[in-house]
Structure 1
Amino acid sequence: MHQGRHFLQIPGPSPVPDRILRAMDMPVIDHRSAEFAALGRAVLEGSQKVFQTKGPVVIFPSSGTGAWEAAIVNTLSPGRDKVLMVETGHFATLWRQMAGRFGIEVDFMPGDWRRGADPAQIEARLAADTAHSIKAVMVVHNETSTGATSRIADIRAAIDRTSHPALLMVDTISSLGSVDYRHDEWKVDVSVSCSQKGFMLPPGLGFNAISEKARAASRTNNMPRSYFDWEEMLKPNAKGFFPYTPATNLLYGLREAIAMLLEEGLDNVFARHQRLAAATRAAVNQWGLEVLCQEPSEFSPVLTAVMMPPGHDADQFRKVVLDNFNMSLGAGLSKVAGKVFRIGHLGECNELTLLGALTGVEMGLSVAGVPHRPGGVEAAMRLLEQRDQRNASSHLKVVST
């Protein structure tokens, strides 16, 4: 029997803050009422701020997989269109498989699962596509299976250098609200996301932020669609309503989640995630273990995937941690199953939460007999204390003045 709260340190779903739970604890209201319209407008406009866009954001009662599907069926045509995708990990592979099921030809650039998408390789493929047969470039921003974050601004610049007309579609499922992301500035055409990661909500909402270029494509493509039709959503959205019964209580939570993100300030949210990720990597380095992502500029602020030493099974280690310390760590997926475990540090996570999680990992390494050097938690503390000391010094200066 375990006492106290369970530590959910997987990279999503992330723990739901008490404040959001309280906001969701409301009676269901008439979704055709003026009261609901106010809620609908609040979440639609607030979502634009998080995506950093002035364009429309469509909210579906779905998982992120549904939002993937919406991006495809609204812009591409089966048996005619070709897309360029990059094998950055498990979720890029799943998105590729979905596109194939819809009759889309996929040029899938191979990857080693230890880096994000390479802008130079994308640029070379597009430059060679003089017939402009590629209709979209589809990239996962933060690959949740590997802990590598692709450089979307650089990819946008690479596309622009070729003057290629392809749409840019980006999966922000595990990055939105945790990693700096700029839909308008980076000229993204479709940004895909969901509720259970940076938004700190239960699963159940899928998002598409869409450009005018994407909407134009949706008017000429011939993919059948109904539930995920953008235009059918946007018509009632203009007045705060939805074309079918919405997930009202999740929308209550979404309104509160947006308020929390904006109160902290998006730049501060992003800096917090970067700081916690750096502390996690400091612990991993001290333990003598290896981070799966090999490119420092692509280290994920959302999670850290840690490689197990040869001869040691990551899933058995995760079981030891769960059984002994009531903490869930993320499993390795597909190609890295049993080879890595993933530490989530996203959402409401703060310094003390992270140090508790790292303590559980370090104790788990000892109990499981995994070769490591002690002192990982102390290394993380030292990094986090540097920031705290700077803040304290700044505060003392203000007080003394």
Structure 2
Amino acid sequence: MSFQNPVFIPGPTNIPERLRKACDMSTIDHRSPLFGQILSPAREGVRKVLKSDNAEVFIFPSTGTGGWETALTNTLSDGQKVLAARHGMFSQRWIDMCQRLGLDVQVVETPWGEGVPVDRYEEILSADTNHEIKAVLATHNETATGVTSDIAAVRRALDAAGHPAMLLVDGVSSIASMDFRFDAWGVDVAVTGSQKGFMLPAGLAILGFSPKALEASRSAGLRRVFFDVQSMHESYAKNAYPYTPAFGLLNGLNEACRMMLDEGLENVFSRHNRIAEGVRAAANAWGLDLCARSPELYSDTVTAICTPRGFNSTDIVTHAADAYGVAFGVGLGEVAGRVFRINHLGSMTDVMALCGIATAEMCMVDLGLDISLGSGVAAAQEYYRMHRNSSGA
């Protein structure tokens, strides 16, 4: 691999120099007032990115997986019932965590390439007249398949059923890159991590809790120590942590939020959509299908591209690394060997995306696929020319 080339994996993502410098700071006393000058703006910045006025933001030294565990252990008790759909590797992993924590998971099996089955959710919730289901899980952006689900529709399903279950959302590969409306969608817990849309190294689990979820944390029976939001909540009142914080990453998070808010959140989302459309135009020019089964499901942060039957898509990823020093994402789980993934998440521009498209194209030609060299690049170039941002971002 070459450190000079951008990565095209769906996390960790490329780190802007401005954020690398923000993370690279001298040791400070995390019990001093100086730490509060980092912590408070970082939490407020995340709240703005979530488009929330009332979310309680928690930031743990961890990753998105630690965020999942925080969401579950602070809102639920042993044996309680949750509703979840299995439609990709990351929704599957969240289900596995629920089961290992002793929760009773009602799993809705859904084809990979499709989103959260909202209609089926509404049927199940309407039938649950005793309100045994305590939480509904939804993966906003399934990173393995390049599928984005409609979280607002999940909230409408809960409301239509008159069901009080909490809505827990995995926004690991969507938050800070795609529109996410914590308050408007009635989300109770949102989970993300530092290494995706926030453009930082891995190391922070970032969560938003609604007042309802925070209240649930006072009586939730699942055991937690490190990931206890009540301990964190009490420490935040003193601009402190219950243990040693990752203050360099928190300083980077504060700066990342500034960068996005300076660009304007709607501009951030528009940039991701534009870059994604260029990648999708390239795939279409190559004559290759996407794993996502319909346009309304297309992700603006990662595109999973299907290769012809009988061809091992992992060969593209391996060849790209060996021959060109570029990283793409392999297929995972049920789509292993059938798709390769191009990330367009976080610190990414049209020009950077063209580098990835060109490299993928060279790899496919090298490996004997019936691809015309330059076809995908030209399709993406045309899209970017016609939809360019005057700022050049």
For 2:226 and 2:2, locate their aligned partners in 1 and report how far apart those are by CA, in whole Å: 44
SS at match of 2:240: coil
Residue 4 of structure 1 deviates from its aligned partner by 6.9
SS in 1 for 2:280: helix
What secondary structure is seen at the aligned counterpart in 1 of 2:84?
A: strand
- Give the whole-Å Cα distance in 2 for the aligned partners of 1:269 and 1:63: 23
Q: Does structure 2 conserve the Cα–Cα contact (< 8 Å) formed by 1:12 and 1:196?
A: yes
The corresponding residue for 1:71 is 71
How far off its partner does 1:72 sit? 0.6
Q: Count how many residue pairs are aligned between Structure 1 and Structure 2.
A: 389
Aligned CA distance change for structure 1 residues 4 and 31 (closer, same or farther; 3 Å)? closer
Task: Tell me how far 1:336 sits from its aligned partner.
Answer: 1.0
- Within a 5 Å distance, the mapping from 1:47-86 to structure 2 comes to 47-54=46-53, 55-79=55-79, 81-86=80-85
1:7: Cα distance to partner? 2.8
SS at match of 2:7: strand
- Structure 1: distance between partners of 2:237 and 2:218: 19
State the distance in 2 between where 1:152 and 1:180 align.
11
Looking at structure 2, the residues matched to 141 and 3 of structure 1 have their Cα atoms a distance apart, in angstroms, of: 32
Aligned ranges 1:143-182 → 2 under 5 Å: 143-182=142-181
1:296 corresponds to = 295
2:205 alignment counterpart: 206
Q: 1:336: which partner in 2?
A: 335
Following superposition, the deviation at residue 179 of structure 1 comes to 0.7
Amino acid at match of 1:229: D
CA deviation after TM superposition for structure 1 residue 391, in Å: 4.7
- Answer yes or no: is the 8 Å Cα contact 1:233–1:242 preserved in 2: yes
Give distance in 2, aligned partners of 1:159 and 1:61. Answer: 32
Identity %: 43
1:338 counterpart SS class: coil
C-alpha distance after superposition, 1:175-206 (max 9, x if no partner):
01001001111110000111000000000000
Contact 2:2 2:326 in 1 (8 A): no
Amino acid at match of 1:72: L
The answer to whether the 8 Å contact 1:332/1:339 transfers is yes
**Structure richer in helix, relative to its length:** 1
Please give the alpha-carbon distance, in whole angstroms, between the structure 1 residues aligned to 2:237 and 2:282: 48
8 Å contact 2:137–2:169 — kept in the other structure?
A: yes
Q: Tell me the CA shift for residue 313 of structure 1.
A: 0.8
Is 1:288–1:373's contact at 8 Å kept on the other side of the alignment?
no
Name the counterpart of 1:139.
138
Report the counterpart of residue 387 of structure 2 in structure 1. 387
Which residues in structure 2 correspond to 1:221-260 (within 5 Å)? 221-260=220-259
Asked if 2 retains the 8 angstrom alpha-carbon contact of 1:289 and 1:372, the reply is no
Structure 1 CA distance for aligned equivalents of residues 90 and 27 of structure 2? 34
| TM-score normalized with structure 2 length | 0.97
C-alpha contact (below 8 Å) 1:7/1:326 kept by paired residues: no
Distance, in Å, in 2 between the alignment partners of 1:372 and 1:123 is 44
Q: What is the CA distance between 1:6 and its match in structure 2? A: 2.6
The one-letter amino acid of 2:334's match is: K
Separation of aligned partners in 2, 1:3 and 1:179: 28
Stretch deviating more after TM superposition (197-206 or 367-376): 367-376
| 1:82-121 alignment runs, 5 A limit | 82-121=81-120
CA distance in 2, matches of 1:271, 1:110: 32
Q: What residue in structure 1 maps to residue 358 of structure 2?
A: 359
The one-letter amino acid paired with 1:103 is: G
The CA RMSD measured in Å over matched residues stands at 1.3
The residue type paired with residue 136 of structure 1 is A
Structure 1 range deviating more: 21-30 or 233-242: 233-242
Give the conservation status (yes or no) of the 8 Å contact 2:316–2:360.
no
Give the match for residue 14 of structure 2.
15
**Mean CA deviation greater in 81-90 or 237-246:** 237-246
